[in-house]
A = this chain, B = another copy of it.
Amino acid sequence: MIQNVTIIGIGLIGGSFALALKEKNIAKNIIGVDNNEENIEKAKTLGLINEALTLEEAIQKSNLIFVAIPVDATISVMAKIMPLITKNQIVVDAGSTKFDLCKMVKQYKNGNRFVATHPMWGTEHSGPQAAVNGAFEGKACVICNKENSAKDALETIENIYKKLGMHLVYMNAEAHDVHAAYISHISHITSFALANTVLQKEKEDDAIFELASGGFESTVRLAKSNAAMWVPIFKQNKENVLDVLNEHIVQLRKFKSCLEKENYEYLYELIDDANKIKRIIK
């Protein structure tokens, strides 16, 4: 059992992590740090945290610091955290991009107290009230550049995620960011763009959403995700996201061309190809 765990950013991920730490008896005292006073109050009311402290107070008191804020803020907060960290403390993040962060943390004297992780879970909601029990159960957690982390720090974090029911996947930060672009970032862009496509049409036609059915809801669900989280991700992972977005537009153009040329045989093939996704998702 860890005595004091600080969670920086007590929203969807931080809040769900707090719930999991309590449920699995991993942490005794959970300290919340959040710029947003309202979030702190909600987190207390919801029982996510035991106390709230300033960043400096929290770092001094904590054995483990978990950072779950937008990826641009992570970079600047980490610049405050890392110089204060001793060899007995561990810092871990949960961000959706890893390359810039790992490069930056490596420069610090006690940089090996940091473990770079990406628990692959999230919803389109945000804030402490979005926190969910058992959120990470059965999901993948990526650990990046593990050779840069101290052995004991890495093992502690591995054990926590395992207790949460996650299976661990190891890769370097660069590979992570490429994969995340394909598996997560592009899905968000297509959802945002699809929402905008339909909302554009709605301006001239009120009735359009009367027909919205399950298929529409599932493809457009992620479009409810917030800009404050996603703009920094797209910014940090710009090159990879652009590569995938270009490829995606190429794939969409194939459908367009089939229709324009009335080449239904090739359209059939494209759909058959897409069906191969069954192999991967249940």
Least Cβ–Cβ distance between A166 and chain B, in angstroms: 11
Q: Could you say which residues of chain B place their CB within 8 Å of the CB of A218?
A: 187, 218-219, 221-222
Listed residue (A188, A189, A208, A226) with the most chain B CB atoms within 10 angstroms of its CB: A189
Q: Could you say which residues of chain B place their CB within 8 Å of the CB of A213?
A: 120-122, 139-140, 183-184
Q: Could you say which residues of chain B place their CB within 8 Å of the CB of A191?
A: 219, 274
- In the complex the two chains form, is A219's CB within 8 Å of B219's CB? yes
Bound: A107/B259 CA distance, A: 28
Q: Could you say which residues of chain B place their CB within 8 Å of the CB of A1?
A: none
- In the complex the two chains form, is A214's CB within 8 Å of B255's CB? no
- In the complex the two chains form, is A245's CB within 8 Å of B249's CB? no
- In the complex the two chains form, is B169's CB within 8 Å of A224's CB? no
A227 and B188 in contact, given A122-B213, A208-B182 (Cβ under 8 angstroms): no
A193 within 8 A of partner (CB)? yes
- In the complex the two chains form, is A211's CB within 8 Å of B169's CB? yes
- In the complex the two chains form, is A235's CB within 8 Å of B264's CB? yes
Least Cβ–Cβ distance between A253 and chain B, in angstroms: 7
Closest B residue, CB atoms, query A273:
B196
Q: Could you say which residues of chain B place their CB within 8 Å of the CB of A275?
A: 195, 223-227
